[in-house]
Structure formats: structure tokens, C-alpha cells
Structure 1
Amino acid sequence: MPTFLIAYCGPAAVPDDVWLRWNTDPLLLAVLAALAFIVASGRSADTRAGWVALALMIVVFVSPLCALSSALFSARVTHHIILIAAVAPLLACAFPLSRAGYPPLVPVVTAHAVIVWLWHAPGPYAWALSTVPAYWLMQFTLLGSAWLMWRSILAPSMQTGAALMALGATIGQMGLLGALIVFAPVPLYVPHLGTTAAWGLTPLADQQLAGLLMWVLAMVPYLAAGLWIAWSSLRAREPAL
């Protein structure tokens, strides 16, 4: 089966060397250091959220997860889930940029869904991993669209019903995408064909695991956010004693 080098994260990690495969790209480390300086200097609206977002960005871009995602599509999907369902809302809390105004919620949610589906279609996905610029285009558009969506959902002026509907729509579209990946009869993601055997998986099994992660695991942050928003709304309506 055909394989090729993943442009940014490098050759597929194998069990014998995975814990040695840290990404030390100087430009990436400089960007993360700049973000750490901004958070440490108190320029974020929520310092704790900023630090946790930074830690998770180190996990997805610096830790061996980057090299593992060259070997397993399921690791790549895990990377994307962390990026859009954990890093993005934390950055939205740390950097809400409320003075910039909020675009209408429906177009933002729709645009994010289109971007998620686009980058998980086999053709665009393969192209995104073939060159470094394409790789970072995928990362920036996934994170940027997710940040815009979470920023609107978590805005103080956002109505509870609208926020819950946006979260429900996102859970639904990601669940549908995950189900399509799970039930695909053949492996679809060419970059990972032939690289899964070292991990005891067939390409199809790896793809099915990725679909299950997107179908089930990915909904947890959105459900948690929905419960928190609903609970906060109910508490706000309680009469003062």
C-alpha cells in the first residue's frame, strides 16, 4: 500500500521510538513562548484558561502525539478533537476580544462545520499533510473557526437557548461525520495506509477507531459546556434570598 512522508510531523512513529519523537521546531516553540509571555503578563482575560490552552497546544504540537499522528489516523483525529473542543474554548475564555464584536452565531457554527468536514474528506486531508503550508492551513482554519464559534457561544450576551442549539448542532454534525468514518467499508485516508501495522492495527481498524473517537469522545466537551451554560442560566434566574 502507498505511503508518503507527513510533511510537518515527519515519519510515522513506531512503539520503539515514539517517546523520543518530540517536535523541536524553533518557530513553533517561539510562538508558544510568545503566548506564554502574553498569559504570564496578565494580558489574558482568564489566566488559568490561557495556561491550560498552552499546555494542550504543547501536547498536540510538541509532544510525541505529533509523530504518532503520522502513523495513526486515530491519533490525528485525537489531535483535532483536542484542538477544536478543548484548546479553542480555553482560548475563547482567555482571549474573548469582546471589543471586536460577535458575528451572527449561525454562520459561525456553519462555517466551522464546513471546515471540519472539508479537512476530514480524504482528498483535502491527504493534501493538508503533503506540505508544511497546507498542514498549517488545516491547523489554523480548524482552530480559528472553532475559536470564533466558542467565542460566540460563551459570550455573556449569548442567549442560553441559542448557545445550546449551537452546541447540539456541532455534536450532531461531528457525530454524523464520525459515523460515516466508522462505517466506511474501505480505508479512505491514504497517508496512513501501511503505517498502522507496527501498532497492531489494520488501516480499516485505525479508521474505525478514529470515527468512534469523533462520534463519542468528541461530544464530551460540548455536553459539558452545555450543562455548565444551562446550570449557570438556572442559577442566574434564582431569586435572591
Structure 2
Amino acid sequence: MDERIWTPYCGAAPAPAGWLARWNLDPVLIAVMAVTFALLWRGRARDQRIMLAAAAGVLAISFVSPLCALSSALFTARTLHHLLLILAAAPLLALALPTPKRSRLLPAAALHLLVLWAWHAPGAYAAALSNDATYWAMQASLLATAIWFWSAVRAASAPAAIAGLLAVMLGMGLLGALIAFAGQPIYAPHFATTLAWGLTPLEDQQAAGLIMWAPAAAVYLVVALWRMARLLTPRAEVAA
């Protein structure tokens, strides 16, 4: 397939020898990020500002660092990029924002999983790497729904939060397994970009699926176990 039809926001797929020099210094992106975090910074407590600074760093790694260009070459890098959004930037931003009065965990979890699955459909993924507006729709929807989910987890009771975390864990794990065991490459933008990195398109896809299936899904399990420990600890202290 002719890779020239793919015009991803992060630019053409880099070669291994030069990808570390491929920083994305898009002035519009940097300005939007700076203004957004400056507005969020105002009136926040010290702990919230620490979370905001950490989230800004994660987003800079995702969109400004050479990881942005690498994600044009490897689906594995794109997966890591998405995981930084939903497992690092989103919970940090959820902690930096006020806790919602109502959890709404069920719709938040359902929408987050729906968006995650929808953008990993081969056609939707290819569209995002063909048009900048679609690319930013993908990134914004993944981040926004993940922030809503983590905010809902924060506001929910421990049993509800544990159930929501385990449900999303299963949803992400199933998606990762389907990608890993697809049996053939399904993401056309990477058909001609992985060989330079010593991977066939299928091997690249399998690695990405395994990352989603095991370590990424395990993050939700770890948080669920932490909430469970906090739920059980007071009872253990009282019994003692």
C-alpha cells in the first residue's frame, strides 16, 4: 500500500536513525496547551497544581516529544501514546479538578469504553491518521471520556468504583486480546512503516495488543485493589 496517502498530524513515519530529533513544535498546539493549563492553574491548591504540572508533562511527552512522530511509524507507539492519555494524563487531571458531587460511574465507564473501542476500529483509526481534525477528535474524545471516568471513580463509593474499574479492565483487556490475536495486520497506516524498525506489521500489532491486554488493563486492577484495601482497612482496625 502506498504510504503517501497517510498524512498523520505527527508527520511521516521517521526512520530509526533520526526519530529522536523529531520534536513537534507546532505553535498552535503549544499555545493551546499553555493557555489551557494557565487557566486551570488559577485558584488551585498546591496539591492540585502538582497534579496539573504532572499532567502537562505527560501531554508534552505525548504530543511534543519524538513519541508523536514514532506513533506514525508503529502502532505499538500509538498504543503507548493513547495509554499515556487515559492512564496517566486523565487521572492526574481528574485529581486536579474538583471532585464531582455525583459519580455517574456507569455512563462514564460505558462511554469511555465505547470511545476506546470505536477509535481502534481499523476504519476509524485510518481516518484519524488521514485528517488532522479527525486526529484531534480521537485524542480529545479519548482524553475527555477518560477524565470523566476517573473523576467518577474518585467520587463513587468503594464498591461501585471497584466494579467500574474491573469492568473497564475487562473491556480494555478484551480489546487488546482481539488486536493481538487478529491473525493478520488490520491497521493500514502501518502496513509500510514497521519494517524499518525490524517488525512486520503483524508483529507490531501483536505487541500493541499484548500491552493493552496485560500491563495496561492491570492498571485498573491495581487501582481497584487499592480501593478495596482502603475499604477493608478500617474494618480490620476496628476488629483489632
Q: When the two structures are superposed, what TM-score results if normalisation uses the length of structure 1?
A: 0.92
Q: Is the 8 A contact 1:182 1:211 kept in 2?
A: yes
Partner of 1:6: 7
Q: Is the 8 A contact 1:6 1:70 kept in 2?
A: no
Q: Which amino acid in the other structure matches residue 205 of structure 1?
A: E
Partner of 2:112: 112
Q: Is the 8 A contact 2:103 2:153 kept in 1?
A: no
Aligned counterparts of 1:40 and 1:126: Cα–Cα separation in 2: 35
Partner of 1:17: 18
Partner of 2:146: 146
Instruction: Please state how far the C-alpha of 1:224 moved relative to its aligned partner.
Output: 2.6
Asked whether 1:231 is paired with 2:229, we answer yes
Question: What RMSD in Å do the two structures reach over aligned CA positions?
Answer: 1.9
Q: Is the 8 A contact 2:181 2:206 kept in 1?
A: yes
Asked whether 1:71 is paired with 2:69, we answer no
Deviations 1:17-57 (A, max 9, x none): 11110001111111222244346545266222211111110
Asked whether 1:126 is paired with 2:126, we answer yes
Q: Which amino acid in the other structure matches residue 173 of structure 1?
A: G
Asked whether 1:37 is paired with 2:38, we answer yes
Q: Is the 8 A contact 2:169 2:218 kept in 1?
A: no
Higher share in helix: 2
Q: What SS is found at the alignment partner of 1:154?
A: helix
Number of residues of Structure 1 aligned to a counterpart in Structure 2: 237
Aligned counterparts of 1:77 and 1:8: Cα–Cα separation in 2: 16
Which of 37, 45, 49 is the matching residue for 1:47? 49
Which of 177, 180, 204 is the matching residue for 1:179? 177
Structure 2: 5+ residue stretches without partners: none
Deviations 1:50-107 (A, max 9, x none): 1111111011111000000000001001111111111111110011353xx4352111
Deviations 1:163-189 (A, max 9, x none): 011110111011111111111111100
Q: When the two structures are superposed, what TM-score results if normalisation uses the length of structure 2?
A: 0.92
Deviations 1:189-228 (A, max 9, x none): 0011110011000000000001001101212321232222
Aligned counterparts of 2:130 and 2:226: Cα–Cα separation in 1: 40
Q: Which amino acid in the other structure matches residue 167 of structure 1?
A: L
Instruction: Please state how far the C-alpha of 1:5 moved relative to its aligned partner.
Output: 3.0
Aligned counterparts of 2:189 and 2:200: Cα–Cα separation in 1: 13
Aligned counterparts of 1:206 and 1:6: Cα–Cα separation in 2: 20
Go from structure 1 to structure 2 and tell me whether the alpha carbon gap of 1:52 and 1:218 turns closer, same or farther (over 3 Å shift): same
Partner of 1:164: 162
Aligned counterparts of 1:165 and 1:207: Cα–Cα separation in 2: 29
Q: Which amino acid in the other structure matches residue 219 of structure 1?
A: A
Aligned counterparts of 2:204 and 2:117: Cα–Cα separation in 1: 19
Asked whether 1:207 is paired with 2:205, we answer yes
Structure 1 runs (4+) deviating above 3 angstroms are 38-42, 235-241
Structure 1: 5+ residue stretches without partners: none
